[in-house]
Structure 1
């Protein structure tokens, strides 16, 4: 028992002050005089904390405590301290956070300005330390061995380039260069350069490891990497993309002047960035810390200023590059191309601000991995990425469906959709790469603090919106292609609309249903992903759903007529009662179905009038354009005409037209005679008929009229004309009639004609009334 007590006393000597002082600072003052129950068997014993809590009083209290009391007191206090440490710390206010951020932003600059006078001396100190570490002879050996290693690397690169030169293939000439030939040539050249650089690095490293000591390698390795290998790699990439000396092989749309300018300055930019990383590591390795000179501030600022200067000077060329060579540009594409140089300058400025803030907070270890350079690289690579997307779309896009304006519009819309989808996917990849550069795990950000949760919610919001947009474009792309396919299949008929007299053929059922399906699908996608995006920000969407349900009920009760129209329209479409382009009659209103919506249809009369009819007000619909039409034609010939002769003429005309390439595809049944239809008071009424596709009957009818007239003339057949014959007694004496008698005869004939005209008009009115 004494051994156990001694052990607890030893423990309390170490932890007693920490635990009890933590208790004194976290518990209420009244608790210091509280009687604590023991955890042993004797529950009546209590421990009173001494007041004041001095080391002597603690030792005296522990000396008179039992083992159970010591154990219980120690466990209770350790639990209290653990609970206090696990409790969330009070968050900082917005004002305090902004003040800290502002201080972190300007403090590196002030510190760099304050230490500017020591910059030269500290740099000389670093060089002096470097010289002292190796000595004059050691430096001579270092540079000599480095020269030998570099020469060995260059020799290895030259040998590899000569061996791989036959892989280059035939160089495309300016006259026959295409995208694929230029891309193949540049890719092979780029591969040769990369292979040569790899040989250079391997040979240099092999010779360097053999000649240089580890201390010498600590200088030679970063120098070769940052000052030689990286700039040469950047030059190879720039030659692949810009081809400064071969405009016919250039992959981006930019002229020679700006291509050469960007090529030179991109190499200079990589060289400046490499020098920045090298000198920081050099000073640190030679006893001069980053904070002592703040040279990183000046060099990093120079890099960002250089980037802004490049994009400001070459804004004309960069705008050309973003526009590309595709003639199908939208106004948004032109605006983006014009704004891109200024966006690049803004990226350089914002990245510089972020670096200063992180420097003020002391995140030098993160900044040494150059995430800001990676961010600028990906964000400023936008013209190349966009050019690649448009090039792939232009050469992988399916061919245009059909011909004409409808097919061309659909083709352009399809190309724009593919480009938009490619841009969204590329944007997501860039976001992931930038997040990786800053060591941000986008999946686990939500498990961190408030700021990280906000970042995670923002990233999830962006991802949700981007996913919804891609699905929106894919659905629109599929529906528009199907719609274009259906529309171009009937484009020839839609242009005529029944010869301008109504009754033209309509489109397919998909042509009518697909626009409504597209609108419905787009609306559903926007609503669903809109709610998901709002929910990803941490906002409870349950009230929104409840409000939408209440709104739906209100619409259902307050707009019953609207519901009736919508439901009626659904059943009309299910029954396939009409299609866009068909000629219909609704309650005495006739016209071509020009447009449909979820609650009404628009009819275009063949004289230009437009009628809007809600579906709920359609009692009966007559369709004049469905499947086929039969046209019956009447011809009146004199009584002495041979009907068989007319019948043969009709048969011959029908045979000629069914063989005519201009009309044969429009006939379903040829024109033929139906014989004598009736006799009237003028002559014999002969009737013929034909069956044709809707919309073509009027053109065929006109041609039949012309051919019948010509055949009748050729065969000596006249059309019957209305005549009035007046029988007068003593007509043999007509030459002896006086003027008064002739006037009387003419008046009697006129009265007879007028009587017959009125009779015919009455018969027509009666027939129309019965109809």
Structure 2
């Protein structure tokens, strides 16, 4: 016997037994004992035996177990069949509802026409026609007058505003203001007021779509012209012809969509049923489908080899989306739209921001936060809006198709909330980073800066990068905790566990903790700043950068040393306030010290008057006096007070000037000399006499 036959027989037996048990429990006649049963209704012996068997505890327990625990394969197949059948039934009900609405649509149109035209007749045909014409025409007329009035001043306005958006945006704002003025300044009956509001909204949306599309096309054209002028081509930047093609197709799509939206929304106050509105929407959606297919097949820069394949794939994809819409699977429809359109919308926003940055560089150069808001904010708003909208659609789908599945709803809300939180954290971090970087770049000092301004600049250069890194960690931790909380995870135990782990890590990594804490106190005491020359033990150099646990020192010969804060110890800062440089000179004992002092004083005055050295000299070069008497020279001491780091150059030039001045004034530097004493002259005379005597005798000269 096969598995299917056995399962069917088992189910049949369970059904018969359950039916009998239910009937016996519900029927008072079957609850009587045989003695109490009337004589005319006495059941046969076989029935009495079956009833007695069913009353046995073992049989009841076995039946309950078998009915409560069906096989895993049966339960899985039943779940799959229930899901598929539910989806199929949902599609059938939706299509049936819409098809039934098509049969009643003529009668609903007649009722709505009589209702609307009756209101128009009661109010006055001429008045209502004039009011609707004002809604449709007043904005365009006022915009045309404004364009004519400002045509001569357009170039001046562009130069004053410093932006190319003004000629496009201002007319659209004038159009919207005139249309809304016409709407609110006129009195409307109830039905006409609803229709007028929808028409005004549709007109304004269409006008701003044309405005923004034209702005984007202009920005792309200006950006491409700037790229060609500079000789640098950005790969993602399309040409003006491509941008103009998609602008026209998108404008047609939006205009058609808004007209259809206004028509469908106007049907509700006129008494049309929801199914009738859906039917009209599906019919109008065919036009949207044809516009999208035409744009795909006639798009520019289409690859000849792959172009037709992509066009056919997109055509099938659009037809599938329209089919999902007609069958009522709105959440699948929007999911498919997001998969196709969200990357393109983000790419268009990136192109728009880059074009705006290139064309409006003079306007955005000093507005780093505005640039970040354009770059990150637009994308964050697009993704957040898409996530929230899709979440609402999924919530409706979950309530409809999987009622009672609260965990799925909770996870979906947590995921969507997490996306929004991460986008907000990313935007906040980039805004703060742009602000700090702007502060760092904007603190460039000119030659006339005071010492206090330089010290403040160095302190900001030191502390702001560390504050930026700490802020990044804080924002990331808070965002992650908020996302986990939104997903339903208890963050209290996580925080407590993180505290325990932090204590354990602190004990296990005492050196790192020591470095971090030491660095905090060094910065608190303002022991050194970026750009200062320090010495600590065997380490010395210019401070180039900081981290949370170490400092980077650049030696004057080039090597870069990374020193943990815990190893610095006592720090000698050679760039604070002032420094005294002392010079020792050795002159001969016959030197006129008064004259030497005057010469050195004159050299100090010359250094002080020098425009290159004078601003860095606090106390000019002067002679302090005689330091000591040496074996061969008199040692005199000179000193000067300069700004930190400037003493080396001034010292070298001062020594060169001292040498030249001493030579001109007859002052000699003392150097060590060796003198040999003895009766050398007598020995020379005796040798000469011996040589002369031998010469007279005709002999050889004595050695």
Q: Same fold (TM over 0.5)?
A: yes
Which of 164, 171, 175 is matched with 1:189 structurally?
Answer: 171
Q: Structure 1 residues 418, 376: closer, same or farther in 2, change over 3 A?
A: closer
Paired residues of 2:586 and 2:633 also in contact (CA < 8 A): yes
Tell me, what secondary structure is at the counterpart of 2:581?
strand
1:167-215 Cα shifts (integer Å, max 9, x gaps): 5353434997575464443344334544666699899x99x99xxxx9x
CA distance in structure 2 between the partners assigned to 1:346 and 1:100 by the alignment: 29
Which of 172, 185, 188 is matched with 2:154 structurally?
Answer: 172
Paired residues of 2:163 and 2:363 also in contact (CA < 8 A): no
Matches of residues 55-204 of structure 1 in structure 2 within 5 Å? 99=84, 103=88, 160=142, 164=146, 167-168=149-150, 170-173=152-155, 177=159, 180=162, 182-194=164-176
Measure how far apart 1:538 and its partner are.
0.9
Measure how far apart 1:313 and its partner are.
6.8
Paired residues of 1:371 and 1:437 also in contact (CA < 8 A): no
Partner of 2:253: 269
Q: Structure 1 residues 106, 727: closer, same or farther in 2, change over 3 A?
A: farther
Matches of residues 494-505 of structure 1 in structure 2 within 5 Å? none
CA distance in structure 1 between the partners assigned to 2:448 and 2:318 by the alignment: 54
Which of 439, 453, 465 is matched with 2:422 structurally?
Answer: 465
Matches of residues 318-717 of structure 1 in structure 2 within 5 Å? 357=324, 359-361=326-328, 382=349, 386=353, 399=366, 417-419=372-374, 422-423=377-378, 426-427=381-382, 430=385, 434=389, 449-484=406-441, 508-717=458-667
Tell me, what secondary structure is at the counterpart of 2:674?
coil
Partner of 1:38: none
Partner of 1:65: none
Paired residues of 2:627 and 2:636 also in contact (CA < 8 A): yes
Q: Structure 1 residues 463, 711: closer, same or farther in 2, change over 3 A?
A: same
Which of 226, 231, 238 is matched with 2:210 structurally?
Answer: 238
Q: Structure 1 residues 354, 638: closer, same or farther in 2, change over 3 A?
A: farther
Q: Could you tell me which runs of 5 or more consecutive residues in structure 1 were left unpaired when the two chains were aligned.
A: 1-24, 34-48, 54-91, 318-344, 400-410, 494-503, 739-771
CA distance in structure 1 between the partners assigned to 2:455 and 2:347 by the alignment: 54
Q: What's the TM-score, normalizing by structure 2? A: 0.62
1:285-323 Cα shifts (integer Å, max 9, x gaps): 999996899775575365256447648977889xxxxxx
1:360-392 Cα shifts (integer Å, max 9, x gaps): 34779x99xx99999999979846974798699
Partner of 1:303: 288
Paired residues of 2:662 and 2:668 also in contact (CA < 8 A): yes
Q: Structure 1 residues 126, 609: closer, same or farther in 2, change over 3 A?
A: closer
Tell me, what secondary structure is at the counterpart of 1:535?
helix
Paired residues of 1:421 and 1:470 also in contact (CA < 8 A): yes
Measure how far apart 1:523 and its partner are.
1.5
Q: Structure 1 residues 156, 439: closer, same or farther in 2, change over 3 A?
A: farther
CA distance in structure 1 between the partners assigned to 2:278 and 2:484 by the alignment: 47
Tell me, what secondary structure is at the counterpart of 1:673?
strand
Q: Choose 233-242 or 305-314, whichever is displaced more.
A: 305-314
Matches of residues 734-745 of structure 1 in structure 2 within 5 Å? none
Paired residues of 1:105 and 1:356 also in contact (CA < 8 A): no
Tell me, what secondary structure is at the counterpart of 2:615?
coil
CA distance in structure 2 between the partners assigned to 1:186 and 1:531 by the alignment: 44
Q: Structure 1 residues 574, 737: closer, same or farther in 2, change over 3 A?
A: farther
Measure how far apart 1:255 and its partner are.
5.6
Q: Choose 390-399 or 704-713, whichever is displaced more.
A: 390-399
1:221-255 Cα shifts (integer Å, max 9, x gaps): 79x988x9957962564146416997899899876
Q: Could you tell me which runs of 5 or more consecutive residues in structure 2 were left unpaired when the two chains were aligned.
A: 1-17, 32-76, 225-236, 303-311, 689-703
Measure how far apart 1:527 and its partner are.
1.6
CA distance in structure 2 between the partners assigned to 1:99 and 1:527 by the alignment: 43
CA distance in structure 2 between the partners assigned to 1:577 and 1:390 by the alignment: 41
1:474-532 Cα shifts (integer Å, max 9, x gaps): 44344444544667589999xxxxxxxxxx99983443343333322322221222122
CA distance in structure 2 between the partners assigned to 1:417 and 1:397 by the alignment: 10
2:241 pairs with 1:257: yes
CA distance in structure 2 between the partners assigned to 1:729 and 1:622 by the alignment: 60
CA distance in structure 2 between the partners assigned to 1:288 and 1:360 by the alignment: 18
Q: What's the TM-score, normalizing by structure 1? A: 0.57
Paired residues of 1:126 and 1:286 also in contact (CA < 8 A): no
Paired residues of 1:126 and 1:283 also in contact (CA < 8 A): no
Q: Structure 1 residues 378, 601: closer, same or farther in 2, change over 3 A?
A: closer
CA distance in structure 2 between the partners assigned to 1:449 and 1:473 by the alignment: 36
Q: Structure 1 residues 379, 98: closer, same or farther in 2, change over 3 A?
A: farther
CA distance in structure 2 between the partners assigned to 1:133 and 1:617 by the alignment: 87
Cα RMSD (Å) of the superposition? 6.4
